[in-house]
Structure 1
Amino acid sequence: MFQLPQRYLPILLGWPLAVLGAWMLARSVLVPGDWAVLNSQGALWEVAFNDTNIGVMVVLLYLLGMISGAIMVAAGSLSVLRHPLAPRATAWAIWSGYAALSLYLLILLSVTTVIEESKLLPSYDVLARFYMRVDHGWWPLVIATGLGFLHLQWSRRTVLDLFRPMPPGATLGDRVVENLRSHGDDPDMRRSFYGSIFVHLWVLIIFPWLMSLQGCVENVKMPRGRGEATTIVQMEIKKQQKKKEKQKKYVVAKDAPIIFDLPTLEDSKVEELVDASSQAIYQPGIKGGAKKGAKKGKTGKRGSGGPGEGGWPNGFPDGQFEFYRVQYNGADWDDGMSAQRGNADVNFLNYMKERVPFPVAKVGKSTHMGQLTAYRKGMAPPFVFMTGASGINVSAAEVKAMREYLLGGGMLVADCGGAAWARSFQSFIQRVFPDYAYVTISKDDPLFQDPNGLGEEGPAPLWRHGGTDFKGVKAKNGRWMVFFHPGDMNDAWKDGHNGTAEHLWENAFMVGDNVTYYAVTHYLEETAKDQKR
């Protein structure tokens, strides 16, 4: 059997420590910036965290991380050089690493507790807190495990003898290894102890973590009923002053049998009606229904299946309209989700509540991209809203989950929050659908007609971060799976509408209404056969 010569052990045990130290130095430099970003989420966040000692712990983490990283780099270098001080430097490096990782975990527990107790995020419950701790806490546990392995190896005689002669007898590391191998003086007791540890780790950490990969998700139920699209198109009547033509005068005999009060075309009521109908123009932007001078198209309660009290035939009796964001590794995926970030989700749900007869959720929710395939068929979010400001950093597993979700009937509503995000999103969609075309959506597409007719001008691109074209990806059956808004309608939904003109932010709400109505209707139709009541 091949056995590595002992002279290579200093290198094998030293370089991982040096690499880890370099990483800790680089990561520690980012700690103050991360803390500043967390406090910049809003006044409530700043107040909530200032009332704690988390800020002091962050400063200590920065200093401890820098010191620990420097010691690790030095210890790793001394080990590779086989310097006599390497074992002692390594011990200092490993213990300082334990301290830095422990402090990080303490800060993580404190931050997530403050977020929950101060209600800084909507829909942030015990389960969401657990997932946040898992997302940000798994890697220090892995590093600590690796440090433990190095600690054990550096405590064994075979390693220590390479740097300086050791006195006779077993070292601490040798005794620990032998104890683990032989199960000590009471093997049965030791096996029971190991079994107990494994069961607790499985129940408390491993199983919940595995479930988080595929997701412990709550079924999404849209309201059952019958309805139809209610198209409202605002039409403004433009009255134009017409030039009256000079009437011709005729000279006839006074007693001639001729009628002198001849009616002109300008005096005709028929012409007024023709002018009114021919001069009507579409003006997108309705708030609270049609305004004076508006004409309605289709009427009825919102939904599908024909006239009724509203809802969808394939919905659920206890269902309600929900708004879900997709969570991913990227900046500002939650922009507008909370009150501190503009209340966009709540404002859109309130807009919907005023216009539909069925129940509407009070706050928006979020789901991890990797969890999109964890929902039961017919009980996933019919659409997920995705926004951001810069990069989209997702794994191959998340890309696969998004593709399966969209091909299964779901819809991705993407809202561009910046030019960099537009480029990232295009690359992301090419990863999700390399075999489908990413095309421009025409302004007369049915997507923009129901339940709000957006007229000749169509949807407004607003800030135009991603250009002026609305784009998307169609399934083979013609259903839109992806909708891309180039101009940040999320900002127009926020409190104050970010300074947008009224007709533009009204247009943004109407576009959101149309797209989500389209998504729910087609999702429930496509998954009808999979739904089990």
Structure 2
Amino acid sequence: MLKRLLITVLLLLPLLAAGPAAPSFRIAKLHYGGGGDWYANKTSLPNLIQFCNRTLNTNIDPEEGTVELDSPELLTYPFVHMTGHGNVSFTEAEAKNLRHYLTGGGFLHIDDNYGLDRFIRPEMKKVFPELEFVELPFSHPIYHQKYQFPRGLPKVHEHDGKRPQGFGLLYKGRLVCFYTYECDLGNGWEDVGTYPGDTPAIHDAALRMGANLVAYALTQD
């Protein structure tokens, strides 16, 4: 089902500029177990969707989906976003279903909202025991879709004085998971004013990078 959905989306991309007549699809936030706040950043995906529809001429459903790891509905989403600060735990069945989703054409964006890193790395090892997260070079196409990011990810929030990094899991040469670390990209998508000190420029840069993720997920081979 996922492959059929992705093929449909790819065929329709040239027609999306025609406006609201083009069929819509939905992107989702991942509901995972372990007690972490998977539900964080309540305004982030709605704002990203609105930005993509306005600037990329997509027609994404303005209402985000919520999907659990073991749900068959996971296979209906071309783009899934995961965030949080704390613990993450995948069951064997969840890891198997997530692998099925990602190897079948799906795309997962993991955004460390600070504190996620030490939990998500071992859990993704359950999904792809044969793969390691690798930092993507700044020349990677994900940084060069409609918007150019020649220095990589924008820095939204400071945590431990580290530079923002974008890591990928590459399955048979295809980027199936993009992990944004020390960046807080999803925080940048939230409503301006949610975090004191965040400027409209930071908000715009975060949305532009987010639009690149969505565009890449929909068009990569």
Identify the TM-score tier after normalising by the shorter chain: 0.7 to 0.9
Which residue of 2 is the match for residue 360 of structure 1? 60
> Which residue of the other structure, out of 84, 88, 92, is the alignment partner of 1:396?
92
1:494-533 alignment, distance < 5 Å: 494-496=190-192, 498=195, 499-522=197-220
Aligned counterparts of 1:406 and 1:464: Cα–Cα separation in 2:
31
Q: Which amino acid aligns with 1:515?
A: L
Which residue of 2 is the match for residue 175 of structure 1? none
Residues 1:348 and 2:48 aligned together:
yes
Residues 1:438 and 2:143 aligned together:
no
1:431: Cα distance to partner? Answer: 1.6
Which residue of 2 is the match for residue 489 of structure 1? 185
Which residue of 2 is the match for residue 463 of structure 1? 157
CA distance 1:320–1:512, change in 2 (3 Å): same
Q: Which has the higher contact order (CA 8 A, sep 6+)?
A: 2
Question: SS at the partner of 2:88?
Answer: coil
Task: Give the unaligned 5+ runs of structure 2.
Answer: none
Which residue of 1 is the match for residue 32 of structure 2? 328
CA distance 1:222–1:500, change in 2 (3 Å): same
Which residue of 1 is the match for residue 12 of structure 2? 225
Which residue of 2 is the match for residue 454 of structure 1? 149
1:236-255 alignment, distance < 5 Å: none
Q: Which amino acid aligns with 2:29?
A: R
Question: SS at the partner of 1:354?
Answer: helix
Normalised by the length of structure 2, the TM-score is 0.83
1:309: Cα distance to partner? Answer: 5.4
1:363-382 alignment, distance < 5 Å: 363-372=63-72, 375=75, 380-382=76-78
Question: SS at the partner of 2:12?
Answer: coil
Higher strand share: 2
CA contact 2:53–2:60 (8 Å) conserved in 1: yes
Structure label with greater radius of gyration: 1
Q: Which amino acid aligns with 2:137?
A: S
> Which residue of the other structure, out of 158, 170, 173, is the alignment partner of 1:474?
170
1:393: Cα distance to partner? Answer: 1.9
Residues 1:425 and 2:212 aligned together:
no
RMSD: 2.5
CA distance 1:374–1:447, change in 2 (3 Å): closer
CA deviation string 1:173-217 (max 9, x = no partner): xxxxxxxxxxxxxxxxxxxxxxxxxxxxxxxxxxxxxxxxxxxxx
1:488: Cα distance to partner? Answer: 1.7
Aligned counterparts of 1:398 and 1:309: Cα–Cα separation in 2:
34
Task: Give the unaligned 5+ runs of structure 1.
Answer: 1-218, 228-307, 312-316, 338-342, 526-533
Q: Which amino acid aligns with 1:225?
A: L
Aligned counterparts of 1:400 and 1:226: Cα–Cα separation in 2:
30
CA distance 1:374–1:425, change in 2 (3 Å): closer
CA deviation string 1:5-63 (max 9, x = no partner): xxxxxxxxxxxxxxxxxxxxxxxxxxxxxxxxxxxxxxxxxxxxxxxxxxxxxxxxxxx
Question: SS at the partner of 1:431?
Answer: helix
CA contact 1:459–1:507 (8 Å) conserved in 2: no
Question: SS at the partner of 1:370?
Answer: coil
1:353: Cα distance to partner? Answer: 2.1
CA deviation string 1:234-257 (max 9, x = no partner): xxxxxxxxxxxxxxxxxxxxxxxx
Number of residue pairs matched?
208
CA distance 1:410–1:503, change in 2 (3 Å): same
Q: Which amino acid aligns with 1:406?
A: L
1:366: Cα distance to partner? Answer: 0.7
Aligned counterparts of 1:475 and 1:447: Cα–Cα separation in 2:
16
Which residue of 1 is the match for residue 106 of structure 2? 410
CA contact 2:16–2:59 (8 Å) conserved in 1: no
1:521: Cα distance to partner? Answer: 1.6
Higher helix share: 1
Q: Which amino acid aligns with 2:203?
A: W
1:372: Cα distance to partner? Answer: 4.8
Deviating runs (4+, > 3 A) in structure 1?
219-224, 308-311, 372-375, 464-467
CA distance 1:446–1:365, change in 2 (3 Å): same
